[in-house]
Structure 1
């Protein structure tokens, strides 16, 4: 016997609107589709915004690392600065250190030291210490999983730590049991393939084909097991193929100011964020950034409009954002260029996310922050139904 109703939410990391336009992806089953404006930043900002309906300034998550020398949990890593570069720069070594640190501190969120220099690590802190997919995972406020728990709606949520195949099988099993009314299916492999191979590459197209096959099975099983089915497939951002690399880190170093005494910075892949300890460093670095032709300093008013202005300068006093397709290399994220990247301005053509559904999409769903209202509606309805029983 079929169960009553299922709301099925499928997250496809980095499957942007532009990518969607170049492939066929459930045009008949999911005919209702919309381009969604994303958020300034990376998945570390976008995913919390989807899960809360809030901007980074509201939920407190933006980029992973921020300047916090007084309370940095990584002060004891300073001695690792003497490691030979040939060893310290190896991805395998850094992955091992990342896993060891995550276990030592008991972090449940995504944690990776990337290419953060050990000589600077003691000056910084990390924002995603808790899993975003737990009810208490936000720095500020609640997420959708807190609402699910409060409403009592029976639900199934993918384990982001497990493989896509494992999560697909777990979602299928939950559907077949007919006990849940809400499912969040998490898929992140496409993002990594886009970084390595780029938009339009054979590995990326093959992964999209795998999604077609896998989701077709999931949707068919859901239609078999439930009388009413609401499907929403969405992403957090897209990606662009990179066209130019810029050694901004080395250029700022060449100005002669001392890191940690005159200024501090985080060099993300597409953004550099600065804190200043004196006006000389501020003036010289600002002048240097203003002269760059491949990016620009973001004014406060624009950051406020994008929901990425932090009055306490937690994530930086000055933000320098590169143009679409450009990349900072080396950066604190990596030593070498990569083929695909995101983290550009939300109005860049590649930055837009997508939303597909088997039902008409409400007119007020225009940005990834609006996805929360779609995910929350079944839980609120369930809570109201249970209250009136």
Structure 2
């Protein structure tokens, strides 16, 4: 039996959770506590890194204790402590990782430094027991990527955005149209009341091969259309949001169809499965378009519950279990000894690509590659 405490502080949610894998292979989320900082950042129209880090400091200890209490376990019942070590806002990552190191040292348990993106990548194995290999559409924070998930720790990037991520495009579109923070849900709510056919917006890169995407031009097209309509009324905002969301869904749907073709070329005997993970996976219009694409392609679409799409600690704890299970299978004595290993030297990282082998698209400075 493996029981792991997970800690997540990469952006503006402070989270702690306990997940258990028992001897029969059944896994359960024993607790999953989240403190959202939305009200602390809404005045600024976006996340302020220093405010986020201070908030993590203020609530993480009590939130971690709450997760343990709700799980009904004591510290000695834990197999390990898992925490996000990156990528993310460095102040927040430092708070979570240092807290996890302190708990690991105090309880004499192993520390597992987890890639936040791997937490998203493996969530579907917690919720739906998805076997390897499978496709992943990762739409988390500043990331929009198609990846091939071959095994724990073995990821291949098939395509990525060459500029803005989807989440960034939603947030910036919301801001230029005067919608409140957070932008993604605000755009989705407005789009539900709008006419997607009123404005003709571009579908970038659809005429090019491969799986790369671009959303900066789409965002600019929304701004240009809004300027032509000034003064912009509520109906115009709703119609622009509907047109923008429809364009994003078209791009994602087209690229997903092509991703299924790539998967079939690699694994002709395996039915394609696409997992969508990350905050944008909570968008119902995008989910619906992906489901239609999967049905047409005779493929399977897995979209975890909304509460496990946005940042949470259950996915970090589960990624820790996956790695513990992997090390145990390779070495049955891996969990013996004092439980303190070289992971205590792990440094927090603002950038940490999930696919370590693909050539950097951008952001390859001294902080490392972003994608």
Q: TM-score, normalised by structure 2?
A: 0.30
Q: TM-score, normalised by structure 1?
A: 0.29
Choose 1 or 2 for highest CA Rg.
1
Structure with higher RCO (Cα < 8 A, 6+ apart): 1
More helix by share: 2
